[in-house]
């Protein structure tokens, strides 16, 4: 036996099976099921990708003579003692054989399927046996034992088992049979001898698809619906089935058919022995939308109006409630993880916030016209019911319309659909809405209640329209109404609102008002108004009638009756007035009378106080320290009371004192402006006048300067001590500190250092004005509190610096305000001062070399310091190798060397001169030079001869102190030619020559260059570097030139030149 895991679907929907238009499906979805069905051995049924293929045809399956079967396993048999409903998708494509749905009690077929292929559909027998002369179906034949079958046959055999059913345009037929009963078969076809062979099957309730619409085997998925009604008193059950849009058929099944109440169920299918489109091709498939007996579930979908009544129709713009109820009542499994999806018409709109699941508000998922909610739990026998409600409203309806609502339940093991609808009866709206105003009580003067109301519907007892829903009727305030007048007077009043429906029809509705204040008393039916009043003993009436008249007139007594829609004025004489608490004879005091009207709960009462006063009145006068809790001002001479006749005027002055300021005045506890002094009023109207005073501020101030004198460039600290010495209360505000004298130009106040009680003052509150006076905004000063004001005063260095002492004198004033703008002043007293003495001055002396391209630093003197104004003589340094050219003072004044005294000194003044610069040029010169070239005593000859000097007295050294070393040249010339010292006419002018590294230079009376040198050092020793190495002067005589012995001498001039 082959066993598989089959995924299918299950649902029970216990509504009657009814005929509908043909409905087909593309790739329908079943519900996963595990271990529900099994394929017996011998069956050609296969399962691919969760789809049951009862018989197969195609490129991958060419088998002929297929017989397929799939049945429920032992654990999932049907209990026929319970009603059930099931839906299954069945697919057939081809023109041969067919499919059956079966109920049976044939345990052997569950393990080994031996049904016949072809017309037998896997369920029918093929032989009779003769017992005692009676033909009987062979009990051991291939028929499905103890069974009931619903047959869906594609091919009309003509001579086969369905030969008695007729041609029916070859669209196939549907019927039911009992495959294990002899009565189902016949061995007499009227053509052949009667024998054991089964000739045809007696089909029950044969039916064909609607003509020219569809046919069995057209390759479409359709639903097979099966409903079972359990055994009645006669042990008969009713099974109703329907396929597609074919009419439903009910079969009666006796309890003996199966021999048990628990039966197997499933499908069989067969094909023929050919594979061509005109004979026995058949691809058949099944998928379970519901599985019989797995889950028992009842549900109901209804449309309710706002009163909760089930409706079938309503008018447009109506909000209705969709109510769905479901109940799980058992089965093989719980109903697993159901999700409920409701699909609305495009002309229906879900009303946000109205979705309730089991009476709890939830938020569903909205997608287009679909509203879905997952239950997120299983339905069990312990938790079996589901109740869903939500509201929808039609939109855009312009004619009579039917609006459907569809529900789909999809669980892991159950699928169910339900649907309902309701009709919209469209009504044309030409009538304005109507309404009735509701009496509203409004406080006198409160216009906001009417002008700024958030919802004017609250002012109506009722409003309605013949078409527009109540929530869509607009209630707005009518424009142009004088609300100040409407709520300005006590008593009845009214205002208007406008009702407008969705069609634009509108109607004005008047809302009754009653304008009230705290003196209005109210019961459930009546209103009464009256105010307290006063009379003097002289005015008090003598008779009761006059007394009643006075009470009604002076209290302004008014009486009204009211309902929810109106207020009616009543005669105030109808009100009862109780007089028993009034004095007799008259006496001053406060007395209460009660005015009332009505009976029981409708009775309204108002208590009115009547004050009876004497003819003379006294006003108490107090002079108190403000905030002193009853402390009287010392030294007051004003009287503590004033007395006068009722109705006369009084005038009460304040207490004048140089130490106190009037801060406020109260008359019977109500504060009055101090400008209303003296206080005036009428005797009898006032009981008490209180004058409140504060201590007049008294400013003390001092100034201290931290040093009596400073040098120019130093600073001092100013410290001011300030205090309001008056006791609290003593208001002192807007105090400004101002110096009396202008600070000198070279004296500056560092505003960043201004502090009050060691805390920096707020930026901008301290300023040094263009008048060089310092002002500081101190703000408010608390009485008896010390304030220390400090700031730094700096002496700026002048250019040139001070040369004489400067005296700085300073003081300050204080100015502030007290009660009523009273000016309060103070000052620091005697002027304080400090002196600024001249400071030290600095003088720098530098020495520079001037070159062709730049200035080079040579040396400097130590910085000199002296009191500004002193004079000093500066001498230049002796700089060997340099020659002074000029002196520059403060980079401004230049004096050339030739304009200076011989000693080159300059005289400057400290403070005025800060920089003296001497400028030099470097020298190219001989440091030393030889005085004698001695050629010694030599042997003369008439031949050409050459003599070198035998000794040189002194060395030839060139000194070059120039920074920018440049080439230099030595030139030589003969100033006195070589001559005999005794024979004046014996002269040898061309005998002296000079040999250098390159050539021999013959010397004469013209300067000839003998050495060119690129020097990089300060000194160059020609003797050492040149003459000791073969260069130098020598004597050379041509043959016969030297004619006489004796002493010869000559003079040579050597010059040093810059090679430029």
Full 3-state SS string of 284-352 = EEEEECCCCCCCEEEEEEEEECCCCCECCEEECCCEEEEEEEEEEEECCCCECCCEEEEEECCCEEECC
Beta bridge pairs of residue 492: 514
Looking only at the bridges linking them, the beta strands covering 709-711 and 832-837 are parallel
pLDDT at 103 over 60: yes
Tell me the mean pLDDT in the region 262-281: 75
pLDDT at 531 over 80: yes
Cα-Cα-Cα-Cα torsion 343, 346, 351, 352, nearest 10 degrees, comes to 80
Q: Is residue 429 part of a domain?
A: no
43 and 140 part of one domain: yes
Q: Is residue 1015 part of a domain?
A: yes
Q: Which residues contact 565 (CB under 8 A, 6 or more apart)?
A: 436, 437, 438, 439, 461, 512
Q: How many CB atoms lie within 10 A of CB 268?
A: 32
SS3 content of the chain, % helix, strand, coil (to 5): 5, 50, 45
Look at residues 387, 381, 289 and name the one whose alpha carbon lies nearest to residue 335: 381
Long-range pairs for 450-453: beta carbons < 8 A, 24 or more residues apart: 450/477, 450/483, 450/486, 450/487, 450/495, 451/477, 451/483, 453/477
Question: Contact, 958 vs 971, CB < 8 A?
Answer: no
Tell me the mean pLDDT in the region 1018-1041: 88
Sheet holding 474-477, edge to edge: 440-443, 506-516, 491-500, 474-477
Q: Is residue 173 part of a domain?
A: yes
Burial letters 584-600, b for 16+ CB under 10 A, else e: eebeeeeeebebbbbee
pLDDT bucket at 530, cuts 50 / 70 / 90: very high
Highest mean pLDDT pick, 19-23, 140-144, 279-283: 140-144
What whole-number percentage of the chain has pLDDT above 90?
Answer: 56
pLDDT bucket at 60, cuts 50 / 70 / 90: very low
Question: Contact, 651 vs 687, CB < 8 A?
Answer: no
The predicted pLDDT at position 637 comes to 87
Whole-angstrom Cα distance, residue 291 to residue 74?
14
pLDDT at 271 over 90: no
Lowest mean pLDDT segment, chosen from 222-226, 278-282, 911-915, 995-999: 278-282
Cα-Cα-Cα-Cα torsion 425, 428, 432, 438, nearest 10 degrees, comes to 10
Q: Outline where DSSP puts E strands in 892-953.
A: 893-896, 906-909, 915-922, 924-928, 932-934, 945-947, 951-953
What is the DSSP annotation of 739-777? ESSPPPTTEEEEEEEEEETTEEPPTTSEEE-TTS-EEEE
What whole-number percentage of the chain has pLDDT above 70?
Answer: 95
The predicted pLDDT at position 11 comes to 28
Whole-angstrom Cα distance, residue 364 to residue 348?
16
199 and 109 part of one domain: yes
357 and 333 part of one domain: yes
Residues for the chain: how many in total? Answer: 1060
512 and 536 part of one domain: no
Look at residues 800, 798, 796 and name the one whose alpha carbon lies nearest to residue 748: 796
Residue that has been written with the tokens 């050495």 in this structure? 1011
CATH classification at residue 284 = 2.60.120.200
* Domain final residue pick, 671, 695, 719: 695
The predicted pLDDT at position 21 comes to 57
* Domain final residue pick, 802, 832, 862: 832
pLDDT at 645 over 70: yes
pLDDT at 272 over 80: no
Cα-Cα-Cα-Cα torsion 987, 990, 991, 992, nearest 10 degrees, comes to 120
Extract the tokens encoding 714. Answer: 């130093």
The predicted pLDDT at position 280 comes to 52
pLDDT at 278 over 50: no
Tell me the mean pLDDT in the region 763-786: 95
pLDDT at 4 over 50: no
**How far is CA 421 from its chain centroid?**
45
pLDDT at 82 over 50: yes
Tell me the mean pLDDT in the region 897-903: 83
Tell me the mean pLDDT in the region 662-667: 93
Total number of domains in the chain: 8
102 and 245 part of one domain: yes
CATH classification at residue 958 = 2.60.40
Extract the tokens encoding 648. Answer: 């006369």
What does the mean pLDDT of the chain come to? 88
pLDDT at 7 over 60: no
Look at residues 1056, 927, 1047, 905 and name the one whose alpha carbon lies nearest to residue 986: 1047
- Helix, coil or strand: residue 270: strand
Phi, psi of 728, rounded to the nearest 5 degrees? -70, 140
* Domain final residue pick, 595, 613, 631: 613
Extract the tokens encoding 630. Answer: 């009853």
CATH classification at residue 371 = 2.60.40.740
485 and 415 part of one domain: no
The predicted pLDDT at position 616 comes to 80
Tens of pLDDT, residue by residue over 33-46, are 568 889 999 999 88
> Taking the model in full, what pTM does it have?
0.43
Tell me the mean pLDDT in the region 442-463: 94
Whole-angstrom Cα distance, residue 493 to residue 441?
10
Tens of pLDDT, residue by residue over 382-422, are 999 999 999 999 988 889 999 999 999 998 888 888 899 99
Q: Is residue 10 part of a domain?
A: no
**Domain ranges, residue 749:** 699-832
Q: Is residue 524 part of a domain?
A: yes
50 and 182 part of one domain: yes
Lowest mean pLDDT segment, chosen from 112-121, 712-721, 866-875: 866-875
Whole-angstrom Cα distance, residue 199 to residue 158?
11
180 and 241 part of one domain: yes
Tens of pLDDT, residue by residue over 184-229, are 988 887 777 788 888 889 999 999 888 778 988 899 999 999 999 9
Q: Is residue 67 part of a domain?
A: yes
CATH classification at residue 882 = 3.10.20
The predicted pLDDT at position 169 comes to 61
Tens of pLDDT, residue by residue over 930-950, are 989 888 888 877 788 888 888
pLDDT at 381 over 90: yes
pLDDT at 157 over 80: no
Tell me the mean pLDDT in the region 980-988: 87
CATH classification at residue 536 = 2.60.40.10
508 and 529 part of one domain: no
Whole-angstrom Cα distance, residue 811 to residue 1040?
113
Whole-angstrom Cα distance, residue 69 to residue 928?
141
Tens of pLDDT, residue by residue over 287-298, are 888 888 889 999
Q: Is residue 23 part of a domain?
A: no
Long-range pairs for 127-136: beta carbons < 8 A, 24 or more residues apart: 127/196, 127/197, 127/198, 128/182, 128/185, 128/187, 128/195, 128/196, 128/197, 128/198, 129/196, 130/196, 135/182, 135/187, 135/194, 135/196, 136/182
pLDDT at 162 over 70: no
pLDDT bucket at 165, cuts 50 / 70 / 90: low
Extract the tokens encoding 466. Answer: 């013949």
202 and 260 part of one domain: yes
375 and 417 part of one domain: yes
The predicted pLDDT at position 62 comes to 57
Extract the tokens encoding 835. Answer: 């002196």
Tell me the mean pLDDT in the region 223-239: 96
Q: Is residue 788 part of a domain?
A: yes
233 and 251 part of one domain: yes
Tell me the mean pLDDT in the region 691-720: 93
């Amino acid at each position: 036996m082959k066993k598989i895991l089959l995924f299918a679907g299950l649902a029970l929907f216990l509504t009657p099976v009814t005929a509908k238009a043909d409905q087909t499906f593309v790739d329908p979805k079943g519900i996963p099921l595990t271990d529900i069905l099994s394929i017996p051995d011998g069956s050609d049924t296969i399962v691919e990708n969760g789809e049951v293929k009862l018989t197969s045809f195609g490129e991958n399956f060419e088998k002929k003579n297929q017989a397929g079967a799939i049945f429920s396993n032992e654990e999932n048999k049907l209990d026929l003692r319970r009603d059930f409903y099931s839906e299954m998708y069945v697919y057939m494509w081809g023109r041969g054989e067919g499919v059956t749905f079966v109920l049976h009690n044939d345990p052997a077929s569950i393990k080994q399927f031996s049904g016949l292929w072809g017309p037998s559909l896997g369920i029918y027998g093929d032989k009779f046996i003769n017992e005692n002369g009676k033909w009987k179906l062979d009990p051991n034949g291939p028929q499905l034992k103890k069974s009931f079958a619903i047959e869906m046959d594609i091919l009309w055999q003509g001579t086969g088992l369905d030969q008695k059913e007729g041609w029916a345009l070859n669209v196939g037929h549907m019927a039911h049979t009992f495959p294990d009963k002899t009565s189902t078969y016949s061995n007499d076809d009227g053509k052949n001898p009667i024998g054991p062979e089964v000739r045809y099957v007696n089909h029950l309730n044969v039916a064909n698809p609607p003509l020219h619409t569809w046919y069995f085997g057209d390759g479409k998925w359709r639903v097979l619906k099966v409903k079972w009604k359990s055994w009645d008193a006669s042990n008969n059950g009713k099974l109703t089935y329907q396929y597609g849009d074919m009419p439903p058929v009910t079969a009666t099944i006796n309890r003996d058919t199966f021999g048990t109440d628990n039966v197997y169920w499933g499908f069989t299918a067969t094909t023929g022995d050919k594979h061509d489109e005109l004979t026995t091709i058949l691809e058949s498939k099944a998928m379970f939308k519901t599985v019989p007996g797995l889950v028992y579930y009842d549900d109901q979908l209804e449309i309710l109006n706002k009163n909760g009544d089930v409706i079938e129709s309503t008018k447009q713009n109506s909000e209705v409630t969709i109510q769905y109820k479901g109940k799980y009542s058992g089965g093989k499994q719980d109903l697993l993880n159901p999700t409920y999806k409701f699909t609305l018409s495009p002309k229906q709109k879900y009303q946000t916030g109205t979705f309730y699941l089991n009476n709890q508000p939830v938020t569903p998922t909205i997608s287009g016209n679909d509203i879905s909610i997952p239950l997120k739990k299983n339905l069990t026998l312990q938790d079996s019911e589901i109740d869903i409600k939500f509201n929808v409203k039609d939109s855009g309806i312009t004619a009579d319309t039917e609006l459907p609502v569809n529900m789909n339940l999809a669980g892991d093991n159950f699928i169910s659909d339900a649907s309902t609808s309701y009709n919209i009866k469209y009504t044309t709206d030409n009538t304005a809405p109507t309404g009735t105003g509701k009496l509203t009580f409004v406080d006198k003067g409160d216009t906001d209640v009417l002008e700024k109301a958030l919802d004017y519907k609250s002012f109506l007892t009722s409003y309605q329209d013949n078409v527009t829903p109540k929530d869509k009727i607009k209630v707005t305030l009518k424009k142009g109404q004088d609300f100040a007048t409407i709520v300005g007077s006590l008593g009845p009043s009214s205002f208007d609102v406008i009702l407008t429906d969705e069609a634009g029809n509108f109607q004005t509705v008047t809302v009754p008002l009653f304008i009230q204040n705290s003196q209005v008393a109210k019961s459930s039916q009546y209103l009464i108004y009256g105010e307290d009043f006063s009379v003097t003993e002289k005015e008090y009436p003598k008779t009761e009638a006059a007394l009643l008249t006075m009470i009604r007139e002076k209290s302004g007594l008014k009486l009204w009756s009211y309902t929810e829609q109106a207020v009616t004025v009543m005669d105030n004489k109808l009100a009862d007035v109780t007089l028993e608490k009034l004095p007799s004879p008259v006496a001053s005091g406060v007395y209460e009378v009660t005015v009332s009207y009505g009976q029981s709960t409708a009775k309204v009462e108002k208590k009115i106080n009547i004050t009876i006063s004497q003819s003379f009145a006294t006003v108490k006068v107090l002079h108190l320290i403000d905030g002193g809790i009853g402390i009287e001002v010392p030294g007051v001479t004003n009287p503590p009371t004033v007395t006068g006749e009722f109705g006369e005027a009084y005038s009460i002055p304040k207490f004048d004192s140089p130490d106190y300021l009037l801060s406020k005045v109260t008359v019977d506890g109500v504060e009055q402006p101090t400008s209303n002094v003296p206080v005036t009023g009428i005797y009898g109207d006032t009981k008490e006048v209180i004058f409140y005073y504060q201590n007049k501020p008294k400013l003390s101030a001092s100034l201290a300067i931290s040093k009596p004198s400073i040098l120019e460039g130093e600073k001092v600290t100013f410290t001011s001590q300030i205090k309001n010495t008056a006791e609290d209360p003593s208001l002192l505000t807007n105090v400004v500190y101002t110096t009396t004298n202008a600070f000198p130009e070279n004296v500056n106040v560092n505003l960043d250092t201004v502090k009050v009680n060691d805390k920096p003052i707020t930026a901008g509150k301290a300023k040094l004005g263009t008048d060089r006076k310092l002002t500081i905004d101190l703000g408010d000063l608390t009485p008896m509190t010390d304030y220390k004001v400090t700031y730094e005063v700096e002496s700026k260095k002048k250019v040139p610096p001070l040369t004489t002492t400067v005296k700085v004198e300073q003081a300050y004033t204080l100015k502030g305000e007290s009660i009523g703008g009273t000016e309060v002043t103070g000052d620091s007293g005697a002027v304080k001062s400090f002196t600024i003495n001249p400071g030290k001055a600095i003088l720098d002396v530098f020495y520079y070399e001037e070159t062709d391209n730049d200035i080079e630093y040579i040396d400097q003197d130590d910085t000199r310091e002296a009191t500004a104004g002193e004079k000093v003589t500066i001498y230049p340094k002796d700089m060997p190798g340099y020659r002074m050219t000029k002196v520059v003072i403060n980079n401004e004044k230049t004096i050339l060397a030739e304009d200076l005294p011989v000693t080159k000194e300059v005289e400057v003044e400290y403070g005025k001169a800060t920089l003296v610069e001497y400028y030099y040029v470097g020298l190219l010169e001989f440091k030393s030079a030889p005085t004698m070239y001695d050629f010694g005593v030599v042997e003369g000859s008439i031949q050409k001869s050459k003599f070198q000097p035998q000794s040189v007295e002194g060395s030839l050294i060139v000194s070059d102190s120039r920074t920018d070393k440049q080439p230099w040249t030595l030139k030589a010339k003969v100033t006195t030619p070589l001559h005999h010292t005794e024979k004046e006419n014996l002269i040898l002018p061309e005998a002296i020559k000079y040999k250098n590294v390159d050539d021999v230079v013959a010397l004469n009376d013209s300067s000839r260059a003998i050495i060119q040198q690129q020097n990089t050092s300060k000194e160059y020793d020609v003797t050492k570097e040149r003459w000791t190495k073969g260069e130098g002067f020598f004597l050379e005589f041509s043959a016969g030139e030297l004619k006489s012995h004796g002493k010869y001498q000559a003079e040579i001039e050597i010059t040093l030149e810059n090679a430029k």
